[in-house]
Amino acid sequence: MFWIGCHLSAAKGYLAMGKEAVNLGANTFQFFTRNPRGGSVKPLDLDDMAAYRDFAAKHNIGTIVAHAPYTLNACAADENLQRFALHVMREDLERLSFLPDVVYNFHPGSHVKQGEAVGIQKIADLLNQVLQPDTKTPVLLETMAGKGTEIGREFAQLRAILDKVELSDKMGVCMDTCHVFDAGYDIVSHLEEVLQEFDTVIGLERLKAIHLNDSKNALGSHKDRHACLDAGEIGIEALSQIINHPKLCHLPFVLETPNDAAGYAKEIAWLKELRKVE
Ligand code: FE
Ligand code: FE
Ligand code: ZN
């Protein structure tokens, strides 16, 4: 099954997102759990969640991706920001527990001059406070471009976090094609080697979702500017290899390309044409 979708606005709720996804030709989608640049959250609507569950089952919508707000920095230097991160992650996971087939993705964080080691330790400490034996929703670390002091530009940094998390069987990774390319992993000319390295350092079984984006900037630029399919430095050829790769093809692919609804529908249709495997 080709699980393909795009990022959607959560403003109208889950059922509305499910319907929009189907309209765009998608069978998965991503959304922000709350205002991405703030932190405010809508009241929990269990009826909407139940209606979405029925709709998703009927329309064969697969695993969806909940994205934490950008304001969540799990390794903030400021104590209030640290407390905010703990609160947001706990509350998001509590709310997501009412949904089936959802993963929770977050940007590991920016160490803001505290240094990489301190950052990694703080991220792991936060996850150890949040994760409980009954936590149901897998929590994914997103691979990052390495803008500023971002942690997650190297697979080894994600490995270091995972090693420090006690309930690490609850953890996975989401690979963003724009981010890994900007981080310096050459998925255009050396996809096999990059996946090999991912497998050696992290383990491919940890990979739970892919953000499918082209990049406006060159390999290793550390910029993080997403481009539409084939409108960037990665190109459609390489992205097509990724959606068809035997080790990746079962994963949910989510577009985060700079598009409106019509643009997303077009890209989804194009990817379906490029998809060679069942
Ligand atoms: Fe992200
Ligand atoms: Fe992403
Ligand atoms: Zn990005």
Gap from CA of 127 to ligand 3 centroid (Å): 22
Do strands 252-255 and 28-32 pair parallel, antiparallel, or not at all (unpaired)? unpaired
Residues by chain with Cβ below 5 Å of ion ligand 1: 142
Ligand closest to the CA atom of residue 254: 2
Gap from CA of 67 to ligand 2 centroid (Å): 9
Gap from CA of 224 to ligand 3 centroid (Å): 5
Question: Rounded mean pLDDT of 60-74?
Answer: 98
> How confident is the model over 104-113, as pLDDT tens digits?
999 999 999 9
Gap from CA of 174 to ligand 1 centroid (Å): 9
Gap from CA of 58 to ligand 3 centroid (Å): 32
The predicted pLDDT at position 108 comes to: 98
Gap from CA of 225 to ligand 3 centroid (Å): 6
CA torsion through residues 3, 70, 9, 47, sign: positive
Report the CATH fold assignment for 4-274. TIM Barrel (3.20.20)
Gap from CA of 51 to ligand 3 centroid (Å): 31
The predicted pLDDT at position 115 comes to: 97
Higher-pLDDT residue of 233 and 38 is 233
Gap from CA of 65 to ligand 1 centroid (Å): 10
Q: What percent of the chain has pLDDT over 90?
A: 97
Gap from CA of 38 to ligand 1 centroid (Å): 15
Ligand closest to the CA atom of residue 36: 1
Question: Rounded mean pLDDT of 230-254?
Answer: 98
> How confident is the model over 129-175, as pLDDT tens digits?
999 999 999 999 999 999 999 999 999 999 999 999 999 999 999 99
DSSP 45-77: -HHHHHHHHHHHHHTT---EEEE--TT--TT-S
Gap from CA of 9 to ligand 3 centroid (Å): 16
CA distances from 65 to 16, 89, 99, 131, 193 (A): 15, 14, 11, 18, 27
> How confident is the model over 217-239, as pLDDT tens digits?
999 999 999 999 999 999 999 99
Ligand closest to the CA atom of residue 225: 3
Gap from CA of 124 to ligand 2 centroid (Å): 21
The predicted pLDDT at position 278 comes to: 85
Per-residue pLDDT band at 39 (split at 50, 70, 90): confident
Question: Rounded mean pLDDT of 51-71?
Answer: 98
pTM higher than the cut 0.85: yes
Gap from CA of 179 to ligand 2 centroid (Å): 7
Residue linked to tokens 């997650």 = 152
Taking 90 as the threshold, does the pLDDT of residue 251 lie above it? Answer: yes
Which of helix, strand or coil describes residue 5?
strand
Mean pLDDT, rounded, of the chain: 97
Gap from CA of 179 to ligand 3 centroid (Å): 6
All structural domains of the chain with their residue ranges:
4-274
Per-residue pLDDT band at 25 (split at 50, 70, 90): very high
Cα distance between residue 81 and residue 278, in whole Å: 45
> How confident is the model over 175-210, as pLDDT tens digits?
999 999 999 999 999 999 999 999 999 999 999 999
Which residues, other chains included, contact 192 with Cβ-Cβ below 8 Å and sequence gap of 6+? none
Taking 90 as the threshold, does the pLDDT of residue 100 lie above it? Answer: no
